Amino acid sequence: MWMMFGHCVIGHFVGAATIGALILSWWRPSRAPFNHGFVHFIAIFAVTAIATTLIFSDNGNGGWPTWQLLPFLVWTAIAFGVRGTAVMLAAIFFIALYETGVIWMPGGTASAHMSGHMWMVQQFLATKALTMLLLAAAVDELRSQAELKRRDLMLREGATGIFRWTFGSNQVECDDTLLRLLGTPPEHAPKRLQDLIAVLHPDDQLRILTTYEDCARNGTEISTTTRVMSKDGQSRTLNVRGRCVEHPTGNSAFETGAVVDITERSKLERRLIEAEHIYRAVFEQAGVGVACLSLKGTFLEVNERFCDVTSRPSDQLIGLNWVDIADNPDWEEAKSEFGELLNSGKGHFRVEKSYTDPQRGPVWVDMSVTLVHDARQNALFYLAIMQDITDGKTAEERAQLRANELETVLDAVPSVIWMAQDPDCANIIGNRFSADILRMTGPDGVESVSPSLKSENYKVYNSEGRELQENDLPVQRAARGETVRNFEERILFQDGQSIHLLGNASPSFNPAGQVRGAVAAFIDITERKRAEARERLLSREVDHRSKNVLAVVQAIIQLTEATNMKAYRRRITGRIQSLARTHSLLA
């Protein structure tokens, strides 16, 4: 009997304690060992119930060994703690008592084969219950410690400090994280509430002290922010949240809470607010019309300029679909592009269209629509920017008209006009007259003209007869910033004919005052040059004839003889008159 007692009681106690210690030394409570807890508990409960029934049932072999229940109970203690173990032990007690002594059951009779050993069964069950409950309690303790470590780790990683203020003793307890946030070394940790308040920013001390006292007096929760000064003189913002913990007597025992450093978050919030103000200012004061549209094309928000462009007040536009304001037939293409943008959900489009305003007449607008996404690339809304470009279009039309007029004038004027489009004179154009002068008139008439020496059809000489290099031409000189006045040049063609040009060249400047090209204007002075040559020839002929006449007169004077001055004068006069009549007859 004592051997049976040792087998049932001492053996099970020692076995449970040994196996439980081994399992606990291996087990890591930082993670849950089992999932689907309810299904798992039902399964182990059923297996344990069947094993208990087989162990305590009356059969020919005297039942299974009772130590076979040990693995199931240890498993239950580790997986489900004290509660699960208590439920499992209650089930084992019920089955064991039912199988060993049915007399205690309603309508039952005594079982003869186990009634003599009932005390041993009771001792076994009591020992088993004590051992398993101790094991389950140890498991719960380990699990609680692991949970506390996990919580502390999360608080440290989240830079969250914990404080506790005991009302009766006015003692304050701060963890290491809170001391680090406050910039206080552990040896100077605050002991009283006043010491903790003194660490805060001077402007916040009275407010925080009042908040703590109100919490202690009324039991209200704390939710506020404060500032602390770091060693480098920078101010850091802390968020404080706490509440009172009541004593079992109903009075508040202490106040506890958490402190989080929200300096960076506060900066981000301020930047967000500033960005919102900037966006609002840009939205309202923009010189272009800005509108936000829903994904269905409904106006959500418009600025004042957009209302001016569309000649509609904002209260009429909000909630209106954009198609309703684009009823002009010219907008059909824009409607199609916007519809494609809505359907595709990506990209943007831009269009220039005109519509007729009842008050202003034809109005030109430049409209750009873009789909705005969030950080996850989800479509939020459409941003439409509409700019009134009526003045620009009008100026563009006027500029085009003036350009056409200038082109007509250049083609009609009987002068050579050359224009360099860049300082390097890589692109030089001229009017039609210049093409005719250089014998380069093609199908386009004008664009093929370029006064350079790369052509093999002619050469250029200055007024002194020196052949000019390309960089010495008036247009190239003016493109370098030089002003050329009254420059005369001669163009000699391969067939021996030549033309003479006279003109000026001046540099052209961009708005910044830099040379961007040159303009040269020349006139054809070939006929004038020929007239000057004829005039010089005639002058030489007149001079020659005058000299001949004077020589004849001189001979008459020298060969005339007379006795007196009067007779001499009469003879010379007569001979000169005869010479004059002779010239008249010859002419």
Instruction: Looking at the structure, tell me whether residues 366 and 447 fall in a common domain.
Output: no
Domain-located, residue 554: yes
Domain-located, residue 193: yes
Using the predicted structure, report yes or no on whether residue 157 has a pLDDT greater than 60. no
Using the predicted structure, report yes or no on whether residue 474 has a pLDDT greater than 80. yes
Using the predicted structure, report yes or no on whether residue 120 has a pLDDT greater than 60. no
Domain-located, residue 276: no
Query: Which residues are CB-contacts of 97 (< 8 A; sequence separation ≥ 6)?
Result: 104
Domain-located, residue 404: no
- pLDDT tens sequence across 266-300: 888 888 888 888 777 777 777 788 888 887 778 88
What's residue 35's pLDDT? Answer: 45
Using the predicted structure, report yes or no on whether residue 111 has a pLDDT greater than 50. no
Using the predicted structure, report yes or no on whether residue 406 has a pLDDT greater than 70. yes
What is the percent of the chain where pLDDT is above 90? 2
- pLDDT tens sequence across 455-468: 677 888 888 888 88
What's residue 156's pLDDT? Answer: 57
Instruction: Looking at the structure, tell me whether residues 25 and 144 fall in a common domain.
Output: yes
Give me 579's structure tokens. 């010479």
Using the predicted structure, report yes or no on whether residue 26 has a pLDDT greater than 60. no
Instruction: Looking at the structure, tell me whether residues 441 and 549 fall in a common domain.
Output: no
Instruction: Looking at the structure, tell me whether residues 141 and 167 fall in a common domain.
Output: no
Instruction: Looking at the structure, tell me whether residues 31 and 141 fall in a common domain.
Output: yes
Domain-located, residue 335: yes
Instruction: Looking at the structure, tell me whether residues 351 and 486 fall in a common domain.
Output: no
Domain that holds residue 471: 416-524
Q: Are the C-beta atoms of 491 and 499 separated by less than 8 Å? A: yes
Residue with tokens 């409570």: 29
Write down the pTM of the prediction: 0.40
- pLDDT tens sequence across 499-514: 899 899 999 998 888 9
What's residue 42's pLDDT? Answer: 85
Instruction: Looking at the structure, tell me whether residues 106 and 140 fall in a common domain.
Output: yes
- What is the average pLDDT value for the chain, to the nearest integer? 75
What's residue 566's pLDDT? Answer: 79
What is the percent of the chain where pLDDT is above 70? 71
d(CA 473, CA 471): 6
Higher pLDDT residue, 206 or 247? Answer: 206
Q: Residue 293's closest CA among 327, 339, 331? A: 339
Q: What is the mean pLDDT of residues 369-378?
A: 80
DSSP classification of residue 560: -
Domain-located, residue 128: yes
Domain-located, residue 532: no
What is the CATH classification number for the domain harbouring 520? 3.30.450.20
Instruction: Looking at the structure, tell me whether residues 238 and 368 fall in a common domain.
Output: no
- pLDDT tens sequence across 254-271: 888 888 888 888 888 888
Instruction: Looking at the structure, tell me whether residues 150 and 176 fall in a common domain.
Output: no
Instruction: Looking at the structure, tell me whether residues 344 and 453 fall in a common domain.
Output: no
Instruction: Looking at the structure, tell me whether residues 252 and 310 fall in a common domain.
Output: no
Report the DSSP beta bridge partners of residue 505: 484, 520
Instruction: Looking at the structure, tell me whether residues 519 and 388 fall in a common domain.
Output: no
Give the end of a domain, one of 105, 137, 154: 154
Report the DSSP beta bridge partners of residue 548: none
- pLDDT tens sequence across 305-321: 888 877 788 888 888 87
Domain-located, residue 272: no
Give the end of a domain, one of 340, 359, 394: 394
Give the end of a domain, one of 135, 154, 173: 154
Total domains, the chain: 5
Q: Is 108 exposed, middle or buried (0-12, 13-18, 19+ CB in 10 A)?
A: exposed
